[in-house]
Structure 1
Amino acid sequence: MKTNTIITIGRQYGSAGREIGSKVAEAFGIKLYDKEMLARAAKESGICEEIFETHDEKPTNSFLYSLVMDTYSMGYSGSTYTDMPINHKVFLAQFDAIKKIADEGPCILVGRCADYALESYPNVVSVFIHADLDARIRRIARLYNLTDAKAKDTIVKADKKRASYYNYYTNKKWSDSASYELCLNSSELGIEGTAKAIEQYVQLKESIQNEQRTI
């Protein structure tokens, strides 16, 4: 299968968003970027990669922390940028990296406000994957050998961080169906089924667009 579409995937923690994205990427023969976005942004911005990992989908409002970490940044110029807290610099560097990756062709981008960064691109399908809490607890408990209580606590904290990051940096609301083109429940469809649904949606959309271009 071929596609000209860039797919962004937002996901609840434990909903198997990355695994689903990997299956879609394999089906279309395109690359998937998750943590890889951080490495790319670090390389191109000159900011230490560990800083990106520290701030990954976690907004920080600690001015002192930002001030201390700011000594590690380099590679950009201009007084406005220089005075900016490090978490904002990290976001802008990721924003730039996401756009450069998208400019290279069809791919899948997981998390990190990629849908917002690419909202002006015509060939983007933004997806949000959610799942029933019980299913997510079972998955995280199994993957990380946790008790159900610990798995639930981990899920709640991770989702809160992702929501705060997304809501802080975009003009949209994380997990709200109005913020995405397609929302799917992976606990209803399963990993394979959710991947298949994304593939079929993308193919159908491209088919309709091609028909419209020939009219």
Structure 2
Amino acid sequence: MSEMNTIITIGRQFGSGGHEIGKRLAAHYGIGFYDKEMLQRAAKESGICKELFESHDEKPTNSFLYSLVMDTYSYGFASSAYSDMPLNQKIFLAQFDTIKKIALEGPCVLVGRCADYALEEFPNRVSVFIHAELDARIQRIARTEDLTDAAAKDKILKADKKRASYYNYYTSKRWGDASSYDLCLSSSKLGIDKTVEAIIRYVDAFNDQKTVEAI
């Protein structure tokens, strides 16, 4: 097997175990893992306080502001408009810039925050989406967060709606749509262990193929 040189991005339904799956993948390959860590690093590098990144985390903005963000992003941080930009736009740009910097440093696992879209031009990126049946997610969240089933379901539906809106605003793709990702897996049907194993097999095959193409 060739040396690991792949960046894995993970989109996930709330309660599907995407965070745990990502951590296990990073541990298996001995590479960096970034979930909330992306926000911490973006805050440090941008000088914007971490609490503001957390309050804006995976929350959509309106389409007008989005168009302004993307126009500015295409010109980079050097744009004179950056200093006059609304805070949510600065947070968006700082986060995307950090995702690209992390990816340039080497193989890693990145969870959420449109990382697959930010790294769309990276040939060594594998994008994964983890989903699960609602009942399984309710059981998981009710257990891990000590909630009633009703409260867990409400939290799941709200979180998924927020993530979908954020992703659909900031990318040219649809959140959770199979065509938006390289690999989609159900953690409720496979279980966490087998889901991790399936991703490892896919990533290893992808990495080996890239090595062959480079020879």
- SS, match of residue 60 in structure 2: coil
Give the letter aligned to residue 145 of structure 2: Y
Pairing 1:22-171 to 2, within 5 Å after superposition = 22-61=23-62, 79-171=80-172
| 1:136 alignment partner, SS class | helix
Tell me by how many angstroms 1:77 deviates. Answer: 7.1
More displaced 10-residue stretch of structure 1: 81-90 or 100-109: 81-90
Aligned residue number for residue 176 of structure 2:
175
The answer (yes or no) to whether the contact 1:6–1:125 under 8 Å persists in 2 is yes
Gapped regions of structure 2 (runs ≥ 5): 65-76
Aligned to 2:204: 203
| Aligned counterpart, 2:73 | none
How many residue pairs get aligned? The number is 201
Equivalent residue of 1:208, what SS? Answer: helix
Query: Which stretch of the first structure deviates more once superposed, 128-137 or 77-86?
Result: 77-86
Partner residue, 1:5: 6
SS in 1 for 2:195: helix
Give the RMSD, CA atoms, in angstroms: 1.6
Does the CA contact (< 8 Å) of 2:61 and 2:169 recur in 1?
Answer: no
The one-letter code of the counterpart of 2:167 is Y
| Displacement after TM superposition at 1:146 (Å) | 0.8
Distance 2:164 2:9 in 1: 16
Q: d(CA) in 2 for partners of 1:213 and 1:123? A: 12
Check the 8 A contact 1:39/1:49 in 2, yes or no. yes
Instruction: Name the structure 1 match of 2:72.
Output: none
Distance 2:142 2:131 in 1: 17
Distance 2:209 2:8 in 1: 17
Contact 2:59-2:162 at 8 Å conserved across structures: yes
Q: Scaled by the length of structure 1, what TM-score is found?
A: 0.89
Identical-pair percentage: 68
Aligned to 1:173, the other structure's residue is in SS state coil
The CA distance in 1 between the partners of 2:83 and 2:173, in whole Å, is 27
Deviations 1:163-200 (A, max 9, x none): 11111111111111111111010001111111111111
Deviations 1:123-158 (A, max 9, x none): 000000000000000000001111111100000000
Deviations 1:22-58 (A, max 9, x none): 1111110111100110011011111111100000001
Q: How many Å separate the matches in 1 of 2:88 and 2:160? A: 19
**Alpha-carbon offset, residue 205 of structure 1:** 1.2
Say if 2:11 and 2:18, in contact at 8 Å, map to a contact too. yes
Question: Normalised by the size of structure 2, how large is the TM-score?
Answer: 0.89
Structure 1 residue 81, shift from structure 2 partner: 1.6
Name the SS for the 2:33 alignment partner.
strand
- 1:180-199 matched pairs, under 5 angstroms: 180-199=181-200
